Chain A
Amino acid sequence: MSIWRRVGCVVLLLVVGVSLAASWLAPAGYAKQYRESPGAPPSREHWLGTDEIGRDRFARVVYGTRISLLLAPAAALVSTLMAAFMGGLAGYLGGTWERLAMAATDVFLSLPWLFLLITVRALLPLNVSPILSVLVTFCMLGLLGWTAAARVLCATAGSLRSADFIRQARASGMSERRLFWIHVFPNLKPVLFAQFWISIPTFILSEANLGILGLGVAEPMPSWGGLLKELEGLVSLREEPWKFVPLLLLVVVVTSFQVMLSDQQEVNA
């Protein structure tokens, strides 16, 4: 493990640890309003100041990190499973199944990712409860993010279908189901694993984009996207630099993921 990968791992563990300890670290809940000090600058009581309705920004950042960091992997898991089902099965079965699955994938891929996300999210109810909005946002990311991974898995499963050891197993009378679970699926695991890790930073960034556009997690539930929406009213960077802390945290976390992934890719190569 290279030094950069170690640094990435440590940073991620630290951020996840801090976000999990939100209840102890934050002075109060993410929704508690300090009505006497709305829009306050950083102080001993409020490390990152308060937002325009008096909520402690540090508490919101820590709780928002927890939501983004716990649900992005969940969405990545959903998308990877869908990709495995659609791509893996289509590649393994081949023929009409493969053509149909790839046609469906092409339709999804022909629309830019952000356009597709915005369209679908805007079509879902906007006045749902905060918890439901979190689930809707990340479920949607998971359900729409499977296409690129499905293509990779289809190609991998397709090459496995014609591999010598599979032909040999088939010739020896092994059932198709057993063949898939015993021989094909274990060989798809490294690709699935890589796709899972690649999806996490993509989903974190997508949620941030949706949040800034007002289509992410609903208030008062915090998320990185919702916290970054505060940047909308800024006139200069020097005005209230503490508002950039969520952005800094997001960049650090996504960079850590990228470092880990690039290192993983080098190892695989």
Chain B
Amino acid sequence: MPPARSESLKARPLLRVIEMILRKIARHTAMLAATVLLGGFLSATLVRFAPGFDVDESQLDPHLSAESVRAIRGSRLSQSNVARFYIQLLRRAIHGDLGTSISLGQPVTSLLRERIPLTMRLVAFGLLFSWSLAMALALSAAYIRTLAYDGLATVVSGALLCIPAAVLALLSVIWNVPGSLAIGLIVFPRVYRFARNLLAKASTLPHIITARAKGVSEIRVLLWHVVPVAGPELLALGGVSVSIAVGAAIPVEALCGLAGVGQLAWQAALARDLPLLTTITVLVTLVTLLANSGADVIRCMWRGQQA
């Protein structure tokens, strides 16, 4: 009997952790689906009620016959009811058909298929660059712990924080550096500031001060004690940084002439392209929420493991 009892005691926290994670995943999935659908609907509503929605410049083409112009007007009128348009869009999306772009005249699915790889590459390299630089600086600042070094890193990140994202994109064009580097430099100061503050806050915890007082080496204190304490919050920051990078991709792609989803979103917004803009909004919302939810689940697992 005693071994069985001890096993059940061991199993209980594990079961509780799994149950907690599953509950969190279920709640997140429901929230995610609701938010994505609401985000898409909001975007469709905004486009529908935007001034000039009913006007299409192709209607002014003198080569078109009266019938063609009527057909264009008719196609626009079919989208005038937002709710109906959105339900139709969702129904078609289930079968893999996201409609046809009004401004570019191509299926939205093929447009996205062409452009997603470039944006993903830009965002991934940008995130890799920003996180590597931010963590290298934040960890070295926490290790060296001198005012001058910390001050210098803070000034560099602060200066980058004060430059608009679009200016960084323009500078990347002038200096002929890759767009991913511009995205990295936009994300870096935000990640660095938060990571630095988290590590600095964790360094002041009583058990870390005790470890230091007991003569544990600085590098061991940093990697074994400080980083695990700050880890869950850093993971949350990881989710947020994806959202920042996706947002930064718009000016970078638009100004650097990179044919990615950011540039497509920009073109769709200017052309009031309802099917394209709604799909991109849903996509961006989904990516942002997935990144945040993923970070949240890993954070939950990390905390569960620590407990």
Contacts and interface: CB of A to CB of B under 8 A. Distances in A.
Interface of A: 103, 106-107, 110-115, 118-120, 122-125, 201, 205, 208-209, 212-213, 225, 228, 231-232, 234-237, 247, 250-251, 254-255, 258
Given A107-B38, A112-B247, A123-B46, A236 B165 contact: no
Interface string B50-93: 11100000000000000000000000000000000000000000
22 contacts: A103-B35, A107-B39, A112-B250, A112-B288, A114-B248, A114-B251, A115-B281, A118-B266, A119-B265, A123-B46, A201-B162, A205-B165, A212-B166, A213-B255, A228-B166, A231-B170, A231-B171, A250-B162, A250-B164, A255-B162, A258-B158, A258-B162
Nearest to B269: A122
A268 B24 CA distance: 34
B43 interface: yes
Nearest to B169: A212
A232 B170 contact: yes
B284 A111 contact: yes
Contacts of A119: 43, 46, 265, 269, 277, 281
Contact of B285 (A110, A122, A208, A228): A110
Contact of A213 (B47, B50, B251): B251
B180 interface: no
Contacts of B31: 106
A113 B163 contact: no
Contacts of B289: 110
Nearest to A236: B174
B148 interface: no
Given A119-B265, A212-B164, A213-B254, A110 B39 contact: yes
A110 B288 contact: yes
Contacts of A258: 158, 161-162
B301 interface: no
Contacts of A208: 164, 166-167
Contact of A123 (B50, B165, B284): B50
A239 to B, nearest CB: 9
Nearest to A246: B167
Given A115-B284, A208-B167, 16 more contacts: A111-B288, A112-B243, A112-B244, A112-B246, A112-B247, A114-B165, A118-B265, A119-B265, A122-B272, A205-B162, A205-B165, A228-B166, A231-B171, A232-B170, A234-B170, A251-B162
Contact of B39 (A111, A118, A247): A111
A110 B265 contact: no
Contact of B51 (A113, A124, A236, A251): A124
Nearest to A119: B269
B51 A254 contact: no
A165 B148 CA distance: 45
A201 B158 CA distance: 12
Contacts of A103: 34-35, 38
Contacts of B265: 115, 118-119
B42 A107 contact: yes
Closest 5 pairs between A and B when the two form their complex, measured CB to CB: A112-B247, A122-B269, A123-B50, A212-B166, A254-B162
B307 interface: no
Contacts of B35: 103, 106-107, 110
Contact of A237 (B167, B174, B284, B285): B174
B270 interface: yes
Nearest to B245: A112
Interface string B242-265: 011011101100110000000001
A110 B255 CA distance: 24
Contacts of B52: 125
B153 to A, nearest CB: 14
B147 interface: no
Determine which residue in B31, B52, B167, B247 has the highest number of CB atoms from chain A within 10 A of its CB, and name it. B167
Interface string B153-187: 00000110111111100110010000000000000
Contacts of A225: 164
Q: Which of B43, B170, B171, B248 has the most chain A CB atoms closer than 10 A to its own CB?
A: B170
A227 B260 CA distance: 27
A255 B159 contact: yes
Nearest to B163: A251
A167 B138 CA distance: 44
A258 B248 CA distance: 21
Contacts of B243: 112
A114 B246 CA distance: 9
Interface in B200-258: 243-244, 246-248, 250-251, 254-255
